[in-house]
A = this chain, B = another copy of it.
Amino acid sequence: MSEATPLQVEDDELALLTDLYQLTMLEAYWKESMRERATFSLFFRKMPSTRRFMLACGQQHAAATISRLRFTPAVLRRLAATGRFHPEFLAWLGEWRFSGDIWTLPEGTPVFPNEPLLEVDAPIAEAQLIESLLMNLVQLETVLASKAVRIVMAARGRPVVDFGLRRMHGVDAAVRGIRAYRTAGLSGTSNVLGGLRHDLQLSGTMAHSYILAHDSETNAFRAFARHFPGTTLLVDTHDTLEGVRQVIELLQEEPDLRIEAIRLDSGDLGELARRSRTLLDAAGQTHVKIIASSGLDEYEIATLLDADAPIDAFGVGTAMGVSADAPVLDLSYKLVEYAGVPRVKHSTGKVNLPGRKQLFRRRDQQGNVTGDIIARREEVIPDAEPLLVPLVRHGRLDEAHMGDAGRARERVAAILPRLPERLRRLEPHDDAAYPVILSPALESLAAFTRQSME
């Protein structure tokens, strides 16, 4: 790298964010004049053991990006310089546009193993080329939203704020991650660019360095609270309870100061919260809230709340920022149909569902979700809702199906209480937790395809 290497990837460069074999296969299809339509299905076979459902997220971003994807002359020159590609193929790439359809679950839909998260119907050269970028984009937001929603559930209605920018994997993860967090139901973020771009409330307190840079903790508190009425003060730089006492003294000296909350960032958070609450209440400062942070995840939060710790809001960073216990979702993007003929790779012990599909979700009369049916695309299943919608048609985004992240957030908030209670638990999942069956028509097609390929 030289100093001049830009940090950021330009939008125009995204056509290059692909695996080399996509381009070589594309050149092969081009040489072989293989232009039939194919369908690829995006799904995962296994859920991480510490998830009970995944929250599909990122498909809109991915679809919008793919509908704009072009090989610009500058990009083609970089490919030509590799000496790997035929000039006529590169000229053809310059004309490449995604002209196909993308059927997808709406963002914020709970999704389970083997269910199609998204299906692409397009000439094979188009459906193949977008694989790597599509998977990269969808995986990130799905992984982060699926972790964040667990933390939101663990907090039982208390606000959860993201503090994870510094630990997320690079710039794109830190910015698009906020979109996933918003969908999952977080209340705020410390991440300025992420919050501004994806419309999640900004939130922030102070760092220990601010306290240390002043002569005394009290002077630091006073200066900050005067500058920022309604602020949160970080009380654990030296001794947490001593810090709380200084906040109380400050409020007694200057009753007009508005201090909204104190933040505990180390030690036994439950015990410190209880003792801080007692001190604050005894001083009549019942309105001063307590925010806890420091290595929190869904389990820690649940443990604190099970013990009735008087914590009003949680700041969560590291564990959520990389979905530390399950940083990867093993997404597959598989050819399931070519030239009108259903196809699958035969793998011992693996489910591979051929053909174009639709996913149906059943609810009982109270509106509670009871199970899913994976079916062929054209099927109609009575009393069940088809979930895959055509977000892209003939290469164009269908505005009717593009909701904003706010809509996805509402969708999540509405569905969570309707999921079976066992899906909302934090413990490792059991495979029987949620029924997903195949429609008889898809069962027959799968059996027929297996036989015909043997």
Interface of A toward B, CB cutoff 8 Å = 1-3, 5-11, 13-14, 16-25, 27-29, 31-32, 34, 38, 40, 60-61, 64-65, 78-79, 82, 84, 124, 128, 131-132, 135-137, 139-140, 143, 163, 165-177, 179, 190-198, 202-210, 212-213, 223-224, 227-228, 231, 237-238, 266, 318, 321-324, 327-328, 330-331, 333-335, 338, 343-347, 397, 399, 402, 404-405, 453
Contact = CB atoms under 8 A, between A and B. Distances in A.
Given A140-B170, A323-B327, 6 more contacts: A1-B405, A8-B11, A17-B175, A20-B190, A169-B322, A171-B172
The 6 closest A-B pairs by CB, nearest first: A20-B204, A170-B172, A169-B169, A21-B204, A135-B166, A209-B335
30 contacts: A1-B64, A2-B402, A3-B399, A3-B402, A6-B11, A7-B176, A9-B172, A9-B175, A14-B171, A16-B193, A16-B196, A17-B191, A17-B194, A19-B191, A21-B206, A24-B204, A28-B223, A28-B227, A124-B209, A128-B207, A132-B165, A132-B166, A132-B191, A137-B171, A166-B333, A169-B172, A208-B335, A212-B335, A212-B344, A324-B328
A399 B347 CA distance: 54
A190 B346 CA distance: 25
A163 B397 CA distance: 30
Given A21-B204, A193-B13, A124 B328 contact: no
B136 A171 contact: yes
A204 B169 CA distance: 25
Contacts of A136: 165-168, 170-171, 174
B7 A14 contact: yes
Q: Which of A206, A213, A338 has the most CB of B within 10 A?
A: A213
